[in-house]
Amino acid sequence: MSEPNLYTRLGGYDAVAAVCADLLPRLRADGQLGRFWQHRGEDGIQREYQLLVDFICNAAGGNMYYTGRDMKLSHKGMRISQSDWDIFVGHLNATLDKFELPARERGEVLAFIDSTRADIVEG
């Protein structure tokens, strides 16, 4: 019998959606990162939330289909710095702490997220 994939071990769609629902407000409220959402309407923010849920579910092995652009294209020109990235990871860790994600799954999530850094951070 094969071991459950990361998506299943994370708790499936509802768990990923709950994590994203906690994370995005943290990012928007941050003094440095908030600029990325300053002039976005609520509809755009809700679309971004859904794309994030779909992206993570798909990447973790769920059956969600991600319809968004790739990370490089969707973040091009946003001037996301290493400092921005570090703050983002801090908020992500705070969210994962809140949900008490076990060490193994946390490591896999953080490794996956880190694999996108080169496509997101500019300079």
pLDDT at 50 over 90: yes
Whole-model pTM: value is: 0.93
Only one residue has tokens 């992206």, namely 55
Question: In this predicted structure, what is the pLDDT of residue 60?
Answer: 96
Question: In this predicted structure, what is the pLDDT of residue 1?
Answer: 80
Decide: 89 and 113 in contact? Cβ < 8 Å. Answer: yes
Decide: 11 and 88 in contact? Cβ < 8 Å. Answer: no
Q: Which domains does the chain have, with CATH numbers?
A: 6-120 (1.10.490.10)
Taking only the tens place, the pLDDT of each residue in 65-104 is 999 999 999 999 999 999 999 999 999 999 999 999 999 9
93: nearest Cα among 72, 77, 109, 73: 109
